[in-house]
Amino acid sequence: MKKVLLSGIKPTGTSGLHLGNYFGAIKQFVDMQDSYDSYVFVADLHALTTVHDAEQMRKNIFDIAAAYLACGLDPKKVVLFKQSDVAGPITELTWIFNCITTVPYLERAHAYKDANVKDHEVSVGLFDYPILMASDILIQDADVVPVGADQKQHVEYARDTAQKFNRIWGETFTIPEPLILEDTGVVPGTDGRKMSKSYGNTISLFATDEEITKAVMGIVTDSSGNRPENVYAIHKLLRTEAELELLYAEHAGKYKALKEALAKDLQDFIRPLREKYLALQANPEEVYAVLRRGAETVRVKVEAKQMQFKKAVGLE
């Protein structure tokens, strides 16, 4: 029997997905779709913590689903679904977990701490975010959860929560493992910091050739060495170190030429993805049909699990 893989991305992006999302998350789902029993979803309930415009929400959901398909997730191999299509069982489990989770434990979550310092007033939804995520993971009996390094703590919350539930009510949930690729755990942005839409240092996954050139020419370089480190760090996503060694030796100190080489490689890499993405944008029904089929499949699975956890706690 194959192990169960589960992961999701929250549809919050106004500027869409970027290379960090691809190399840190989606690529892993694609690479593993043959060897795992895979479930990949659009985390729209999570996005509600920040997206409060219905039209924007609908568009964001569609864009993530289309991106999954454009990047090579095959609906014959992976169950692709949207979280809110099985909101009933998931939020019910979230409530049960809430009742065995303490406030100080959630106060230790990095995402909450950051938001609490930066923002005004944090919503209850954001505070409870790790528990909703634990429910996504545990309701599927996921063995592995491929995510970027920033999500590791959340998977630990899921592990803790599973253990706590199992201790109180008996063996019910599988303990999941995070799966974080060393090389791409943190994909750097154009300024060398982690690529993130909140830093404005992203390169869009479906960028046009011109947009790619513009982003690459804007990569921050310092002139202290022969190798522009921020250019190299992104280049490393696309080529082997041996290939880069030659290229960077040939153009040592010539930052413009190196940037041009990176722009060309990115354009060649992104072009087929963008073409597929645009084709799906022109044929939305294909995307919605995939989500509908995914919802049907996943509903059967999570409803069986729902019966099991409700029995365990005495609600059935």
Q: Which residues sit at the interface with ligand TRP, rule CB under 6 A? A: 6-10, 43, 46, 133, 136-137, 145, 147, 151, 154
Min CB(31)–ligand ADP separation in Å: 14
Interaction between residue 69 and ligand ADP (CB under 6 A): no
Instruction: Find the binder of ligand ADP among 4, 5, 21, 157 (CB under 6 A).
Output: 21
In the 8-state DSSP scheme, what is residue 143?
S
Min CB(210)–ligand ADP separation in Å: 22
State which of positions 224-263 bind ligand ADP (CB under 6 A): none
Give the dihedral sign, CA 276/277/283/286: positive
Structure-token pair, residue 126: 């954001």
Residue span binding ligand ADP (CB under 6 A) among the ranges 96-104, 123-131, 191-199, 265-273: 191-199
Closest CA to 93 of 172, 178, 5, 175: 172
Structure-token pair, residue 263: 């722009």
Nearer to ligand ADP, 184 or 213 (CB): 184
Q: Is 253 left (phi over 0), alpha (psi -120 to 50) or beta?
A: left
Nearer to ligand ADP, 42 or 263 (CB): 42
In the 8-state DSSP scheme, what is residue 36?
S
Residue span binding ligand ADP (CB under 6 A) among the ranges 96-104, 114-122, 193-201, 296-304: 193-201
* Residues in the chain, overall count: 316
Q: How far is CA 101 from CA 57, 113, 143, 146, 168, in A?
A: 29, 17, 22, 24, 12
- How many angstroms separate the first and last alpha carbons of the chain? 29
Min CB(28)–ligand ADP separation in Å: 9
* Among ligand TRP, ligand ADP, none, residue 176 binds (CB under 5-8 Å by kind): none
Amino acid (one-letter) located at 212: I
Min CB(192)–ligand TRP separation in Å: 22
Interaction between residue 75 and ligand ADP (CB under 6 A): no
CB contact burial 166-204 (16+ within 10 A = b; e otherwise): eeebeebbbebebbbbeebebbbbbebebbbbeeebbbb
Interaction between residue 197 and ligand ADP (CB under 6 A): yes
* Among ligand ADP, ligand TRP, none, residue 212 binds (CB under 5-8 Å by kind): none
Contact code string over 170-189 relative to ligand ADP, x by CB under 6 A: --------------x-xx--
Count helices and strands (H / E) in the chain: 15, 5
Min CB(147)–ligand ADP separation in Å: 4
* Among ligand ADP, ligand TRP, none, residue 290 binds (CB under 5-8 Å by kind): none
